[in-house]
Amino acid sequence: MNYSQVVGQFHPLLVHLPIGILLFAFLLIIYQKLQKAELTEAISLTLLLGSIGALLSCITGWFLAQSGEYEAEIVQKHQWTAIASTVFGFTAYFYKNQRMILSTIMAATLTIAGHFGGTITHGEGYLFGKEEEIPEPSKTLQKQTKIDTTNSGQKTVKQTFLYNEKVAPILEKKCYSCHSSRKKKGSLRLDSETFIRKGGKNGEVLHAGNPSKSALYANLLLPLDDDKHMPPKGKSQLTSGELSVIHYWIKKGASFTGEIEAETIIPQVITPLNEVSSQNILPENLELDILEPNLNKPDQQTLEKLKNEKIVINSEGFEGKKLAVNFVNIKDIKTNQITDLQTIRENIFSLKINNKALSDKDLSQIKTFENLERLNLDQTTITDNGIKELVNLKNLKQLNLYDTEISDKSIEALSSIKNLKVLYLWKTKISESGIEQLKKKLPNTKIESGNFKFSKPDSLK
């Protein structure tokens, strides 16, 4: 960042203060005239401070405008009305007898300057909700209907332009305020095909067919506090459905004129990953973690058999394809019951077997549940040997081992489950030093060990 940019960054910090001070001075002038109060010195002070602040805002604003990220026409309007406000502020300070008319003009130009400033920052229509026209191709492409005559009868197939009808409205709603003709943050515009393909000062943002390498999509998945995350923290974020549309469009080739059937179901994004690095290029297997898995419907006969054995099975979504299994009603677990789960193992995302005589051999079957995300094994009879069976559960995010016999021998196995978010180790035989080792090896995992420390109350307070 050069000197000009550094100075320009102070503009948003400075600009609001003089606006408030100058408008306050204007109100004082009105109050003095109506109430016949003597406020001349107070008005002079506020006019002077506000005008000096406005002058500094104009200077820093000029430096900020040199970045070229904003539309020149709107910037000039904002710039000259702001300068006019500053001039009238200083003039009102020096010419006390003409303060009413001078401050009225100052307040008017200040209001106009503020409007243009808001337009630059938030886009046209930010105050009254006026919608901007969606740039081409949306102005020229229209929905259409085609006739499919491949069968003996005619079938009406509704077609829609994917970019025009689904992608462009998302970009307009969530991205245009910073990346359009009004404002070109990072020299990037996203309001037309030409500019999207061109990219910004950091290079191309679109790699057709590869969402993971497209900054247009990849930066949406970064942690909210990451400088490259888009939209920036504090602005309206994309929903899962909107993320899905962007991903699907890029995956299908990022065509700006391509058509799809209007009834096409776009695979849904479950949630953005906050563990992605702040690079523009994401891991190749990222999509496997954030997209709805391609699941088959669970076998109904198996479900009925398990339910008849008092095993609780609940749906977690995706039209019953995602299941949570709970052995809470089973008094004595049997190996064949774990074996019966094999038929629906790809559908099991949550498994709870607590307070049971569960063997390490049973864990050797559970290790094949590739989509398992939550596993509760608290108060079971598993050992360190059984924990080794869980290292292949790459999607496991929560593991409860409360009140089990596992010890420091399980540290290596547990530390290899890199996607763990929460690990319960309370009342296990893992030592405090072992807990510390795990915290170092799994820095992104919340480890609950039950070693709570409470400070003594301060008797002096």
Give pLDDT tens digits for 337-377: 888 888 888 888 899 998 888 888 888 888 889 889 899 99
Per residue in 306-330, pLDDT (tens digit) is 888 888 888 766 667 888 899 988 8
Kindly state the average pLDDT of the residues 25-45.
Answer: 92
Q: Please check the confidence at residue 246 and state whether its pLDDT lies above 50.
A: yes
CATH: 3.50.50.60, 3.40.50.150, 3.40.50.700, 3.80.10.10. Which one for 300-448? 3.80.10.10
Q: What is the pLDDT of residue 423?
A: 92
Question: Do the strands 446-448 and 144-148 form a parallel or antiparallel pair, or are they unpaired?
Answer: unpaired
Q: pTM for this structure?
A: 0.42
Residue 94: strand, helix, or coil: helix
Longest dimension (CA), the chain: 97
The most confident of 44-58, 62-76, 320-334, 447-461, by mean pLDDT: 44-58
Q: Pick 285 or 419 by higher pLDDT.
A: 419
Mean pLDDT over residues 58-70, rounded? 78
pLDDT beyond 90 at 419: no
- Give percent above pLDDT 70 in the chain: 79
Q: How confident is residue 40, by pLDDT bands cut at 50, 70 and 90? A: very high
Residue 285 has pLDDT above 70, yes or no: no
Q: Parse the chain into domains and list their residue ranges.
A: 3-122, 144-290, 300-448
DSSP-assigned beta bridge partners for residue 352: 326, 376
Is pLDDT at 140 greater than 70 in this prediction? no
262 confidence band (pLDDT: 50, 70, 90): low
Q: Is 209 exposed, middle or buried (0-12, 13-18, 19+ CB in 10 A)?
A: exposed
Helix axes 72-94 and 16-35, enclosed angle (nearest 10): 40
The percent of residues above 90 in pLDDT, for the chain, comes to 27
How would residue 154 be classed by pLDDT, with cut points 50, 70 and 90?
A: low
454/154: higher pLDDT: 154
Q: Kindly indicate the confidence band of residue 284, based on its pLDDT and cuts at 50, 70 and 90.
A: very low
Angle between helices 40-65 and 99-122 (to 10 degrees): 30
Model pLDDT for residues 5-32, shown as the tens digit of each residue: 677 778 888 888 999 999 999 999 999 9
Least confident of 284-293, 367-376, 412-421, 432-441: 284-293
Contacts 24+ apart (CB under 8 A), 11-17: 11/57, 11/60, 11/61, 11/63, 11/64, 14/53, 14/56, 14/57, 14/60, 15/57, 15/60, 15/61, 15/117, 17/53
pLDDT at 131: 45
pLDDT mean across residues, the chain = 80
DSSP strand pairing (398-400 vs 374-376) = parallel
Give residue 313's identity as a one-letter amino acid code. Answer: I
Higher pLDDT, 130 or 337: 337
CA angle at 364 for the pair 362 and 366, rounded to the nearest 5°: 75
User: What is the per-residue pLDDT for 30?
Assistant: 94
Task: Determine the average pLDDT of the residues in 189-205.
Answer: 88
Based on DSSP, count helices (H) and strands (E) in the chain, helices before strands. Answer: 18, 10
CATH number for the domain whose boundaries are 3-122 = 1.20.120
Which tens digits make up the pLDDT trace of 377-404?
A: 999 989 999 898 888 888 899 999 998 9
Tokens of 338: 């774990």
Confidence of residue 148 (pLDDT cuts 50, 70, 90): very low
91-105, 117-131, 229-243: least confident range: 117-131
- What is the predicted pLDDT for the residue at 70? 66
